[in-house]
Amino acid sequence: MMEARSLSRRFGGLLAVADVSLSLRPGELHAVIGPNGAGKSTLVNLLAGELAPTEGQIFLDGTDITGLSVAERARAGIGRTFQRTNLMLDMTVLENARLATVIPFRRLLRRADRETVPLAAARRALQRVGLPESALARTLSHGQLRLLEIAVALAGQPSVLLLDEPLAGSGAEDAAPIAALMKDLSREHAVLLIEHDMDVVFAVADTITVMVDGRVLERGTPTEIASSAAVRDAYLGHGGG
């Protein structure tokens, strides 16, 4: 289980994440929703280790991992996808899946500098999402690129999956299969899902945390969140984001 305790992150005068606590459990799909700028991606970056919190701690199976780097957290079992796709378009699907997802700015790195994951793990991940190994990433549809992004994270054999808008930019026809895959993955992994498509969120989430201005406004089951007056007033009633 992954646990964030009172996480805050300041950017100059802006408190992007303010005193956020959250638990991710195996078998649970925990969605975080909120308007643009609510602090959702910053929260993912804090959990993945790309940003250090200004305050608060992060625990994985009871161990404090707040001081671990992105690579160390990935080795400890934390996988993530990026809101903006982070794939190597001139490489094959299999080559992408073999590249460790943990290295920031993968595009800028020379091939020799990259870590790779075992071939068998990469192949299993691609089978899981249903992508052909030998296709060039450039030839994939948008929805397939989002699946490849998930496969790259899965190839690292994570216990926790952090998915930041895995449907972003894909068409309506891609949403259902990707949503079904996420739900399926949450049976074995602890999944944190950032998603703005409320139909998808309410269909797949076990728990929803609503963030507004960096803070947790409400947390509950989809039924509880749908009937929350505070959420309706602050967020859903204004068209979401």
Would you tell me how many other CB atoms lie within 10 Å of the CB of residue 130? 11
Of 188, 157, 186, 192, nearest in space to 4 by CA: 192
Using CB atoms, what's the residue nearest to Mg ion? 41
* Torsion sign over Cα 185, 223, 36, 20: negative
CB of 36 to ligand ADP, least distance (A): 4
Binding residue for ligand ADP, selected from 5, 23, 37, 133, defined by CB under 6 A? 37
| Residue 34 touches which member of ligand ADP, Mg ion, none, C-beta under 5-8 Å by kind | ligand ADP
| Residue 39 touches which member of ligand ADP, Mg ion, none, C-beta under 5-8 Å by kind | ligand ADP
Binding mask 195-214 for ligand ADP (x = CB under 6 A): --------------------
Compute CA distances 229 → 20, 50, 112, 146, 217, whole Å: 21, 34, 54, 34, 11
Q: Which tokens go with 224?
A: 């509880």
Would you tell me how many other CB atoms lie within 10 Å of the CB of residue 112? 5
Q: How many residues bind ligand ADP (CB under 6 A)?
A: 11
Q: Which is nearer to ligand ADP, 11 or 84 (CB)?
A: 11
* The amino acid at 35: P
CB of 188 to Mg ion, least distance (A): 25
Of 117, 111, 184, 191, nearest in space to 152 by CA: 117
Task: Check residue 38 for interaction with ligand ADP (CB under 6 A).
Answer: yes
- Tell me the chain's radius of gyration from C-alpha atoms: 17
Task: Check residue 14 for interaction with ligand ADP (CB under 6 A).
Answer: yes
Q: Which is nearer to ligand ADP, 37 or 240 (CB)?
A: 37
Helix (H) or strand (E) holding 174: helix 172-185
Any idea how long the chain is? 241
CA atoms within 13 A on the CB side of 212: 13
Q: Which is nearer to ligand ADP, 119 or 230 (CB)?
A: 230
Task: Check residue 39 for interaction with ligand ADP (CB under 6 A).
Answer: yes
CB of 116 to Mg ion, least distance (A): 28
Task: Check residue 11 for interaction with ligand ADP (CB under 6 A).
Answer: yes
Binding residue for ligand ADP, selected from 2, 8, 31, 34, defined by CB under 6 A? 34
First vs last Cα of the chain: how many Å apart? 29
CB of 58 to Mg ion, least distance (A): 19
By CB under 6 A, name the binding residues for ligand ADP.
11, 14, 16, 34, 36-42
